[in-house]
Structure 1
């Protein structure tokens, strides 16, 4: 077992692989001490079974004020504000999640699917008109999920580009506390104004639905719910599209699998398993709990490494290989338990549409620079690529 604590953040081992220090833990005892940026000493676990166990165990809390702080600024975190249920436990978490689940209707998802298809074609048309080379992140991977989540919330067109930039700023690991606070205040101020507008003029979108059907939610609760959905639905999916395209270009023989309507669903699941977008999530022990033969004391924080759990050889054969033909199921890219990502089906729809559309339109798509020159988001909490220069044959 590791005796010297690992220190967060840990750099990914490459564009597609989780940190080597965590990958090495698969060979021995899969729990190690971890020093968080706020100075607290906690633990990190990597086995898929253990990750699922911790995330499903009510003895581990998601409450924001109990867990360590991943921000380089450190310091204790306050309790989650009203509506920010990702940092709450049941029953508060259950209350807010139930309200949101009621807004993710079959009708709305069906409408969004058609809209995503339209958005993909519009952006591909613009790429074709501009001609190669282009930055795929700026022209395709980022604008599509940005427009989808903004339309879902009812954010007007003129604010969408600025919103995408602000949300991306929040995930910077090198941002100062002052920079993060300014960005946060700017986003929340606008969302608060949007909530008040929807109270006076109801609209047929998710935020408008919460205003009407939200069982007396306050403006603060609605603003925080909108903020959480905006952040979760934009940066993660945008980076899956960017990094996923890089992975497919590195494995061109597998592109026909993702463009085939019969195999695209499974191919997306394999990309979700294989790519290390989110480093993990945190839980804090409410009492002493034994994990992998170690006693995690009450008050200690455990980071569950989702990317390494998705490379667990006990669950996935040859786990470090991307194989879009494997029958991928049981990954934890969206977490596990009561906090499993609420918007996972929306993210899946976006990827099922965007990847095939891209490679069908540009079958000769390739990198415009050597792969080692593609700038990675090593300094960001959400991993991916800053830019993806691509070209194709006209």
Structure 2
């Protein structure tokens, strides 16, 4: 690619002016290639939308739970809700500028280059990089914005976001809330987008990207030697330092088993303690599920499996209650679109997607309380004292 023949258009994703700007630039410059900030999955969905093809409305919530991708799904759902809500207020669908670029390119018979990273990889890497504190702060910020009463967004406000000063302010706030997420969602993607632009063989290119990425992309294009290998930016199971917190949590159930075993070989009658362990585990699993809004059968499942999941560090009671709840509730994509109608926290209670996620989280939280607080104080510490004559 000839660097001097590259035109980068920084857009606002829900702006009618951005759609016009993109189309005008493509028709005026008539490039050899139009590069767009989309991955293969999002591009395919947009093409189906353009063709009026309706996709399967069912969301594979059971697969999401089994693959432990609840975090990625929840974040992508909330972020998608924000874009849809702003787009509805401005009467512009999110991604309209990309559709405009596709339509203009097809009209001129210009090939399209997809230069963005798979959204699922991006979100998973972001979650991996974030600390627990960052995740909590980030989620709190999202939920707070979710119920914001600020309805003053308009075309001018959106266009103002493309100004460099405003971009710096927004990015600075984002970096403050979560340096880990900022690193992946902004810095890494700047490098990834720039790397893919440099891979384009044709000379004359128009690249359509979000305004927040334009400064970073240009910086990388000016110093291409600083772009890391793109293969290193798509790894989701990076080796980290020793996860002491996870090791300690995994040792707790092992410690429980050891205490029971020591008590048994010491001749102590452990039948009452076993019954108490099972009863407390089942009650907490049941309560965590039912108080999170599950159906009765899901709560029963969560309670029944709780004792086993406490002993087995690779299992979680919330998975079982959540999977059962998912079988009982038909989840469809309109449940995501219905999030746009949410005005207060109580409205979330009636959304099937949120209800299932709450069941998973609530059951796991209750069983964790049993594991870390109730069972040690009521069962294992007293049993430990008996073993050693306390």
Q: TM-score, normalised by structure 2?
A: 0.28
Q: TM-score, normalised by structure 1?
A: 0.27
Report the structure, 1 or 2, having the larger helix content.
Answer: 2
Greater Rg, structure 1 or structure 2?
2
Report the structure, 1 or 2, having the larger strand content.
Answer: 1
